[in-house]
Structure 1
Amino acid sequence: MSRLVATFFGAGFLRPASGTWASAVAVALAVAAYQAGWALAVPAGAVLAVVAGFLAVPPYLRATGGEDPSEVVIDEVAGQLLALSFTVIPLWRHGVADLALGAWPGWLAPFLLFRLFDIWKPWLVGRADRMGGTVGVMLDDLWAGLFAGLCAVGLAGLWHGLVQPWLG
Structure 2
Amino acid sequence: MSRAVSGQLLKHPVHFLALGFGSGLLPKAPGTFGTLAAIPLVLAMQYLPSWGYLAVMLLAAWLGIYICQFTAKAMGEHDHPAIVWDEIAGYMIAMYALPATWYNLLAAFVLFRWFDIRKPSVIGWCDRHLHGGLGIMADDLVAGLASAAVIHLSYLGWALVT
Same fold by TM (over 0.5)?
yes
Equivalenced residue count is: 148
Q: Is the counterpart of residue 20 in structure 1 residue 19 in structure 2?
A: no
CA contact (8 A) 1:42 1:85 kept: yes
Q: 1:153 — aligned with what?
A: 152
* Cross-structure match for 2:23: 11
2:126 alignment partner, one of 123, 128, 132: 128
Of 78, 84, 87, the match for 1:73: 84
Quote the residue 2:112 is aligned against.
114
Gaps of 5+ in 1: 89-98
**CA RMSD of superposed structures (Å):** 1.8
Evaluate the alpha carbon distance shift between residue 157 and residue 47 of structure 1 in structure 2; reply closer, same or farther with a 3 A threshold: same
The DSSP-based 3-state class of the residue aligned with 1:130 is helix
Q: Give 1:39 shift.
A: 5.1
Q: 1:94 corresponds to which residue? A: none
* C-alpha separation in 2, matches of 1:49 and 1:29: 11
TM-score (norm 2): 0.81
Runs of 4+ in 1 over 4 A off after TM superposition: none
Unaligned runs of 5+ in 2: 1-12
* CA offsets 1:2-49 (integer angstroms, 9 cap, x no match): 311211221211242111111122123212442xx3354543332222
SS in 1 for 2:43: helix
* Percent of paired sites with the same residue: 33
Partners of 2:64 and 2:97 lie apart in 1 by 21
Q: Give the residue type in structure 2 aligned to 1:120.
A: R
Write the letter of the residue equivalent to 2:127: D
Aligned runs of 1:39-118 on 2, under 5 Å? 40=50, 41-88=52-99, 99=100, 103-118=101-116
- Does the residue aligned with 2:21 lie in a helix, a strand or coil? coil
